[in-house]
């Protein structure tokens, strides 16, 4: 229900100061109390009280909200915000009690698509936000009768500046446990590794979370692929997760060093055998100083 005190004006055009990505002409703008606004269900984007928010707050104090939010009637009371969550927060921090909005009647799928499209091109979006947003838009477009998985992913990617394959990768990330998705956000787990881990069952992902917490080791792309393969074979157990993450396989690393470069460090009369003796002696001394095990054996060819 609209506020009795709501003011209505005719709006011809807007300068999109706050990045909504939505240009509206000829629609009625209504000023509604902030207390009547509700956040969008499962809204995937962060609203942070950071430096950028403070800049927005100062702009709101000086100029007001130049671009109205977009809302739809809430099923219980007031309005559900579709585009404008950051402006809503800026109004709160600026001490305002009302915000200009455009009220639109729309179904859930249309609302989801608009919500995602008005946020997805921001520069500071985390992988987890993209994953959840792409998943929501993908499901909405399927409900709307989209032509197929690849077509839908391509359309979503085109609107956001990503390839369809990238969109599919992000959607896979939405299957990750929150803890693992958080590690992807923090760049502790590569996105490509997170995609592989997303195929693990819920309890298997929980084992990975526990293993990371206990060992401090984050799975690489190769380790994630190993875990996925063992899971698909139906053989993944908690102990195997630890084995993949923690076990250090010794590898023979063949290092070839130019004899010409080596000679610069030795008297000209030293034979090949004498040079090798010195090198191996120095390497042994270095190895003894290492306080942690796991040093790889190296064969050096001079």
Report the CATH number that the domain containing residue 111 is assigned in CATH: 3.90.1530.10
Contact 176, 153 (CB under 8 A): no
86 with 58, same domain?
A: yes
pLDDT in tens, 222-270: 999 999 999 999 999 999 999 898 864 434 455 667 777 788 888 888 7
The predicted structure's pLDDT at residue 229:
95
Q: Is 300 helix (H, G, I), strand (E, B) or coil?
A: strand
Report residue 88 CA to chain centroid gap: 24
21 with 48, same domain?
A: yes
The predicted structure's pLDDT at residue 290:
67
Contact 87, 65 (CB under 8 A): yes
95 with 165, same domain?
A: no
115, 141, 164: which is the final residue of a domain? 115
CA atoms within 13 A on the CB side of 98: 14
Report residue 133 CA to chain centroid gap: 10
Furthest-apart CA pair in the chain: how many Å? 100
174, 193, 213: which is the final residue of a domain? 174
- Is residue 155 in a domain? yes
The predicted structure's pLDDT at residue 287:
72
The predicted structure's pLDDT at residue 289:
75
The predicted structure's pLDDT at residue 159:
83
- Is residue 227 in a domain? no
The predicted structure's pLDDT at residue 197:
97
- Is residue 157 in a domain? yes
- Is residue 283 in a domain? no
CB under 8 A, 24+ apart: contacts of 250-255: 250/296, 250/297, 251/296, 252/296, 252/297, 252/299, 253/296, 253/297, 253/298, 253/299, 254/298, 254/299, 254/301, 255/298, 255/299, 255/300, 255/301
Residue 63's alpha-carbon distances to 17, 56, 302, in angstroms, are 11, 10, 73
Contact 71, 103 (CB under 8 A): yes
105 with 63, same domain?
A: yes
106 with 22, same domain?
A: yes
106 with 45, same domain?
A: yes
- Is residue 213 in a domain? no
The predicted structure's pLDDT at residue 261:
79
153 with 89, same domain?
A: no
Q: Is 253 helix (H, G, I), strand (E, B) or coil?
A: strand
106 with 17, same domain?
A: yes
21 with 101, same domain?
A: yes
Closest CA to 45 of 126, 106, 114: 126
Count of domains observed in the chain: 2
30 with 58, same domain?
A: yes
Alpha helices for the chain (secondary structure H): 51-63, 85-93, 108-117, 127-143, 149-160, 164-173, 178-185, 191-197, 202-215, 221-232, 238-246, 259-263, 272-289
Spatial neighbors of 145 by CB under 8 A, at least 6 apart, are none
Contact 195, 173 (CB under 8 A): yes
71 with 156, same domain?
A: no
Phi, psi of 69 (to 5 degrees): -75, 170
The predicted structure's pLDDT at residue 255:
63
129 with 34, same domain?
A: no
pLDDT in tens, 129-148: 999 999 999 999 998 988 88
The pTM score is 0.69
The predicted structure's pLDDT at residue 182:
96
**Which residues are 99's β-sheet partners?**
32
- Is residue 287 in a domain? no
- Is residue 301 in a domain? no
What does the alpha-carbon distance between residue 189 and residue 219 come to, in Å, rounded to a whole number?
A: 7
64, 86, 115: which is the final residue of a domain? 115
- Is residue 277 in a domain? no
Q: Which domain holds residue 154?
A: 123-174
The predicted structure's pLDDT at residue 262:
83
Q: Which residues of the chain have pLDDT under 50?
A: 1-24, 248-252, 291-292, 294-300, 302
């Amino acid at each position: 229900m609209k506020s009795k005190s709501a003011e209505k004006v005719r709006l011809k055009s807007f300068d999109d100061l706050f990045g909504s990505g939505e240009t509206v002409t000829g629609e009625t703008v209504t000023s509604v109390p902030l207390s009547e606004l509700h956040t969008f269900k499962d809204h995937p984007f962060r609203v942070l009280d950071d430096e950028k928010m403070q800049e927005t707050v100062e702009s709101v104090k000086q100029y007001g909200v130049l671009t109205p939010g977009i809302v739809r009637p809430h099923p219980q009371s007031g309005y559900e915000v579709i585009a404008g969550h950051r402006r809503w927060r800026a109004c709160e921090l600026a001490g305002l009690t009302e915000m200009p909005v455009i009220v639109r009647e729309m179904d859930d799928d249309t609302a989801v698509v608009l919500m995602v499209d008005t946020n997805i091109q921001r520069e500071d979006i985390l992988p987890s936000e993209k994953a959840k947003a792409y998943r929501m838009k993908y499901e909405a477009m399927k409900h709307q009768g989209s032509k197929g998985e690849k077509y839908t992913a391509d359309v979503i990617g085109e609107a956001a500046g990503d390839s369809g394959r990238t969109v599919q990768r992000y959607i896979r990330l939405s299957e990750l446990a929150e803890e693992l998705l958080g590690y992807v956000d923090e760049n502790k787990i590569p996105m490509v590794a997170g995609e592989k881990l997303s195929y693990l069952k819920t309890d298997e992902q929980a084992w990975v979370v526990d293993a990371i917490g206990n060992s401090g080791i984050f799975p690489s792309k190769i380790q994630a692929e190993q875990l996925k393969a063992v899971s698909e074979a139906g053989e993944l157990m908690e102990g195997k997760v630890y084995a993949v993450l923690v076990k250090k396989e010794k590898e023979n690393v063949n290092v070839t060093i130019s004899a010409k470069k080596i000679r610069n460090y030795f008297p000209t009369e030293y034979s090949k055998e004498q040079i090798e003796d010195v090198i191996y002696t120095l390497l042994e001394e270095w190895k003894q100083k290492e306080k942690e095990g796991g040093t790889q054996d190296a064969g050096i060819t001079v």
